[in-house]
Amino acid sequence: MNLQVFDAHQDLLWYEQNKKKGEVLQTGFQVINDSAVKLVVASVFIDSENKTNEELIEMVRAELNDYQRLAKENKMIIVKGKKDLSTLLESERHGLLLHIEGLDFLTPDNENCLTEFYELGLRSVGLVWGKRNAIMASANDEGGLSDFGRKLIKKINKLGIIIDLAHANEASFYDVMTISEKPVMVSHGNADNICPGARNFKDEQISLLDKKRGVIGIFFSKKYLTTNSRASLEDAFGQAEYLYKLAPNAVMIGSDFGGITTGTPVDLGGIDKYPDLFDKIEEKLGTRAKDKIAYENFKTFLEKHFYESSD
């Protein structure tokens, strides 16, 4: 099978910094280069506990620079616009699209750091992570966008940065979907109808993403795949099948590999197992579904985003 995958969420740098010898490799720079994964949305993930906003901004700056360095060392392409995406697709190389997971450090006093980060290659932001911040409520909180958040959405749209609602609650999700002038993504979020939980998304939300040309990535954390005590590749396929029937132009892969700490499916523990998953998808749903989920939906989303942005 000729397989190419665009993966919309990996905590790649965090994983490289924290992996232990002898564990199953979820991902890694060299692992990606030896795999079917053509493009990864590579996350900067910073634990904000007991840190000042200034410290967090410096840490984000350092990690964006680390990604630039490591991409160069591993002969990867940092995808920042149409030209980079075209170069990636025409080459044998693999690519990274740089992302920040959670803007806990951002306030009206320092929001201009996003412009600096954009110059360092940032092209995607998750507005919130584990708890409410100055922008909006997380999946663990009540409420929606703040007044600052409403203004920030317009700034992010203007900069040409993708908005990711992976950790948003329902109210925040609908607030952003109403205000954003550009399609948004849920980089990693499964179907709540299969596995209920605050981090998963209801049918109406998924359908709205599809209608508004957004995308949603299936992810492989056991806790969010299934209500069973043990998760398998069959559960990942079940999410893919459900989402494809509900939102055929929106569903993609957003594995969360590198950041999964609650367990992976027993037979889908890393990106080396993607061929097994997509063999199953092709067998059950057809070649067209396989290609759309593997890369075409996300590729179309990125092309549209870059076309509408200044790059």
Q: What is the mean pLDDT of residues 21-47?
A: 91
Quick one: pLDDT band at residue 265, thresholds 50, 70, 90? very high
Instruction: With a cut of 90, say whether residue 2 has pLDDT above it.
Output: no
Report residue 77 as tokens: 């392409």
Give the pLDDT of residue 301. Answer: 98
Give the pLDDT of residue 196. Answer: 97
Give the pLDDT of residue 49. Answer: 87
- Mean pLDDT across the chain: 96
Q: State residue 244 phi and psi, 5-degree precision.
A: -65, -40
State pLDDT tens for residues 68-84. Answer: 999 999 999 999 999 99
User: Is residue 251 a contact partner of residue 215, using CB atoms and an 8 Å limit?
Assistant: yes
> What CATH number is associated with residue 90?
3.20.20.140
State pLDDT tens for residues 88-110. Answer: 999 999 999 999 999 999 999 99
Quick one: pLDDT band at residue 311, thresholds 50, 70, 90? low
Instruction: With a cut of 80, say whether residue 21 has pLDDT above it.
Output: no
Q: What is the mean pLDDT of residues 131-150?
A: 97
Instruction: With a cut of 80, say whether residue 5 has pLDDT above it.
Output: yes
Instruction: For tokens 């890694």, name the residue.
Output: 28
Domain count, the chain: 1
Closest CA to 162 of 206, 114, 208: 114
Give the pLDDT of residue 143. Answer: 96
SS3 state of residue 43: strand
Instruction: With a cut of 90, say whether residue 231 has pLDDT above it.
Output: yes
Give the pLDDT of residue 1. Answer: 62
Give the pLDDT of residue 166. Answer: 98
State pLDDT tens for residues 175-211. Answer: 999 999 999 999 999 999 999 999 999 999 999 999 9
Amino acid identity, position 240: A
Give the pLDDT of residue 22. Answer: 64
Percent of the chain with pLDDT over 90: 92
Report residue 65 as tokens: 């620079």
Instruction: Domain of residue 257: give its range.
Output: 5-308
Where would I find the H helices in 74-162?
82-90, 113-119, 147-159
Instruction: With a cut of 90, say whether residue 172 has pLDDT above it.
Output: yes
Quick one: pLDDT band at residue 232, thresholds 50, 70, 90? very high
Q: What is the mean pLDDT of residues 209-221?
A: 98
Give the pLDDT of residue 48. Answer: 86
Give the pLDDT of residue 18. Answer: 87
Q: What is the mean pLDDT of residues 287-293?
A: 98
Instruction: With a cut of 60, say whether residue 288 has pLDDT above it.
Output: yes
Give the pLDDT of residue 47. Answer: 85
Give the pLDDT of residue 310. Answer: 57
Instruction: With a cut of 90, say whether residue 57 has pLDDT above it.
Output: yes
Quick one: pLDDT band at residue 222, thresholds 50, 70, 90? very high
Buried b (16+ CB within 10 A) or exposed e, 95-127: bbbbbbbbbbbbeeeebebbeebbebbbbbbbb
